[in-house]
Amino acid sequence: MNIWCDRVVDADGVRERVRFTHAGGLVAAVETDVAPRGDDVVLGTVIPGVANAHSHAFHRVLRGRTHAHGGDFWRWRESMYAAAARLDPESYFELARAVFAEMVTSGYTAVGEFHYVHHRQDGTPYPHEMERAVAAAAESVGIRLTLLDTAYLTGGIDRPLAPKQERFSDGSAGAYLDRWHELRDRVGHGARLGAAVHSVRAVPRDAIAQIAAGLTADVPLHVHLSEQPQENADCVAAYGLTPTELLSEAGVLSARATAVHATHLTGGDIALLGEAGASIVMCPTTEADLGDGIGPARELLSAGARLAIGSDQNAVVDPFLETRGLEMHERLAHGARGRFAPAEILRAATADGYRSLGWQVAPLQPGGPCDLVEIDAASARTLGSHPTELMLTATAADARRVIVGGHTVASRGRLADGTSPAQLLHDALRRFP
C-alpha cells in the first residue's frame, strides 16, 4: 500500500496532501495536493526518516548506573569496559534488539552502529558472530542499519592494549581490513557495512592511512574526533599535529568521512573539516552526560561541513531531544537564540544523517528511502507549534507511527507486532546485573 500524508515537513518547507508511491523500500513517485486513495495508509503530520548516526548499543547497560560515581569521561570508561566484558553473541543480540526497538519506537528509522566488540574476551576471533548478531537485531525490529565496523589497535598513543581492550582489536590494520572485506560478504540481514577508525588514540597514524586507502570510496568512514582535550594534547605531543590535521594527512578527510563529537577543535581544524565537506555527528545528550563540552556546530556548518545527530551511549534515546540539543547547546555557548534555522536542524536529523550512513538520496525524495515519522501535532507538548518548529517541541512520546521502507515498524510506542521495548529491555538487562 502507498502512503498519503496530510502534511509533510522537511528541510525544504511544508507540503500539504502528499502521496508517496513506493517500490522496493524506495520512493517511486511523489504527488502533492491530492486526495488519498482507498487503499492508502493515511497519516497526519510527517517528517522524513531520522538517522541516529552514532550509537554504541551496549552502552545502554550503563543508563542510570553511573551518576553517583561522579568523575569524568575517563572514569565512566571503566564502567563501559566492564559492560563490554559481559557480551557474547547471544546476549549482544538480545541487548541490541531491545535498544534498536527503543530507537525505532522513539522515531529513529536508521542507525549507524559504531561497533568494536569483535572477539572473545581474550582476543581470539569469533567468525563474525558479534557483527551478525547486531545485524540480526536491527532486522528483527525493522530499523535500517549501517554497521560501522571499527578498527581498534592500541590502548592509547604509543601504548599497548590493556587486557580489557583485547577483544576490540584485530592486531593490525591489515588484519582489520581482511576481516572487514570478509564481513562485507557475510554480514547479511539487510545491513549496510561501513567502517570506522575508533580514534587517533586507538589507531596509529600509519594504520589510519592504510585503512583509509584499503576501503573503496563508497564506504562511509567514521571516527571519534577530539572528544576530550587529553586526546588533542597527546596527539600534538606524539605527532606535532592535532587529531584533525593527522586525519587530513592520512587521507581520511573527504565527503565520505564522518567525525563524531568534534568538540575541542582549533580554527584550522574547523576549516579542514569544512573544506572536505565531511559530516559531523553531534551527540548532545551524551556530550552533556559525560561532561565532554559543547562543540562548534554552527561554525562547522558555516565552514562547509554537514551535521548529523547520534545517541552515542544511549543514556537518552529521543531524536527530538537530540536534535534540539544542537540549538540549545549553541544558545548556552553563545548567549543567543536561533543559532540554527529550523530547516538546518531538521536536515541534520534526516537528509544529512542518512548521508553520513551512506545514503546519497534523502528519505522521502524520489529514489530515496520511503522512511518517515508521523508526529502527534496536537499533544500537550506540540499543540500550537508551527509545523517547521515541531522538532523544537516534540519528544519521542509524540512519534505516533514509524515507517521504514514503506512499511509500519512501530506505532504508539510499540513495535508493529505489539512488542513493548520495555519488555525487551527488561529481559536483556537481566544479563547485566
Catalytic residue numbers read 261, 312
First to last CA, the chain: 44
Report which DSSP code applies to 291.
T
Relative to beta strand 407-411, strand 279-282 is unpaired
CA distance 51 to 145: 10
Cα angle 365-366-369, degrees, rounded to a multiple of 5: 65
CA 329 to chain centroid, in Å, comes to: 19
Inter-residue contact 173 to 153 (CB < 8 Å): yes
CA distance 134 to 94: 9
The H-or-E segment that residue 146 falls in is: strand 144-151
Helices (H), 241-318: 243-249, 267-276, 284-289, 297-303
Report which DSSP code applies to 125.
P
- Rg of the chain over all Cα atoms, to the nearest angstrom: 21
In Å, what is the CA distance from 201 to each residue of 135, 155, 234, 272? 27, 7, 8, 20
Of 201, 146, 107, 203, nearest to 397 (Cα)? Answer: 107
Residue environment code for 60-83, b if the CB has 16+ CB neighbours within 10 A, otherwise e: bbbbeebeeeeeebeebeebbeeb
72: three-class secondary structure by DSSP: coil
CA distance 289 to 85: 23
Which strands sit side by side in the sheet containing 372-375, from one edge to the other? 26-32, 13-23, 3-10, 41-48, 372-375, 399-404, 407-411, 414-415
